[in-house]
Structure 1
C-alpha cells in the first residue's frame, strides 16, 4: 500500500505523482533547459506512464519519495526525497518546469519538503539532508543557499560529459537563510 502524503503551504502543494499527470509531465519534460540539468528523459506518453509508475514504486519501497509540485492547482515541477537506508539522512532533488521557473517555486518546495523530512511526528524525522547539483547551474545553487543548505564541498565530475557538482547540506534545527 502506498502512503499518501500531501504537503501544503499557502501557495504550493506537494503530492505524489498520479497517472493523470502523464500529459503535463510530457509537456514539462520536453523543455530543453530542464533536459540540460536532469538525467531522466520523458519523450512521450508511454515514457511518462513508466516514469510515474517508477515514482509510485519508490513510495512503496520507501526508497524514493517523490512529489509533483503544484502551484495554483497546476503541476509545475518535481521534488524528491531519497532517504539513506543506513543513517538518518537523505538527499533532495528537484526541477521546475519553464512556466514556473524564476518564481521561487523550487525554493518554496525545498523548504516545504525539508520541514516534513525533519519532522519526527509526521515525517521521516531525518537529522540531515543533502542537496547535490551541477556546479554550472547557478539557479540550483541559489535555491540551496536561500533554503539554508550550506555548500560543503565541490564534487568531481561523475561521467565524461559532466562537470563538477556542489554538495549542500542542512541539519535539522538549522533555520533557512534569506
Structure 2
C-alpha cells in the first residue's frame, strides 16, 4: 500500500480544505465511532462494531490497495496549522483491472460531515486522480451506483458531474430496491477543444 499517497482538496469559501489518504490502522477507533451512526449503517454493507472489526476493515482496504484492484481513501479535514482531524468519510475506486476501461466509485460520509459539501469535493478529487492515474492505460468510464431512495447520494453524483444513466433492477438480498447508475466519462484533450 502506498501510505504516502495524499490527494489534497483546496478549501473554498464555504468549506475547509480536505486530504484524501489511504486508511491506516490508527484510524480504527474513529471508524468505530463513525459506524455507530444508524444512517451510515443503513446504506453500507460493512459491519464495524468494535476495534477488531475496524482493524479487519482497514486491513481489507490495505490488501486490496496492494493488489491494485481497489483504492480506498479516508477523507480528512485539513485544519490550517494543525494535524488533520479524524476521518470524515470514505472514497473508494473499485473494480479496477489492469487496462480495464470501466471502474466504480463509492463513498460515505460521517454524520458530522453531511451537508457540508465534503462528499462532492472529495469525489471530484478521486475522479481526477483515477482518470489521471489509470486513464492513460485504459480507464475511460467511472460508474457510481446507489439505491433509488438514497437521495443524498444522488445529489452528490449530480454535483460531481456523474450523469444519470439508467435505473437498475433490484437484486435481493444484496440490493433489495432498484438503483440508479450514474456515469462519468474521461475527457480527452480532443474532447476539451
**TM-score scaled by structure 1?**
0.91
Superposed counterparts of 1:39-50, under 5 Å = 39-50=45-56
Higher deviation after alignment, 136-145 or 151-160: 151-160
Higher deviation after alignment, 109-118 or 123-132: 123-132
| Number of the residue aligned with 1:76 | 88
Higher deviation after alignment, 126-135 or 152-161: 152-161
- Structure 2: gaps of 5 or more residues: 11-16, 79-83, 189-193
Superposed counterparts of 1:23-172, under 5 Å = 23-72=29-78, 73-74=84-85, 75-85=87-97, 87-119=100-132, 123-125=133-135, 126-160=139-173, 162-172=176-186
Query: Displacement of 1:83 after TM fit?
Result: 3.8
Query: Displacement of 1:8 after TM fit?
Result: 0.5
| Number of the residue aligned with 1:7 | 7
- Structure 1: gaps of 5 or more residues: none
1:131-154 Cα offsets, whole Å, 9 max, x none, are 001111100000001111011111
1:73-107 Cα offsets, whole Å, 9 max, x none, are 22101010014426222100000000111101110
Query: Displacement of 1:167 after TM fit?
Result: 0.4
* Rg comparison, structure with higher value: 2
| Number of the residue aligned with 1:173 | 187
Query: Displacement of 1:6 after TM fit?
Result: 1.1
In 2, the alpha carbon distance for the partners of 1:151 and 1:48 equals: 33
In 1, the alpha carbon distance for the partners of 2:100 and 2:146 equals: 21
**TM-score scaled by structure 2?**
0.84
- Does the residue aligned with 2:134 lie in a helix, a strand or coil? coil
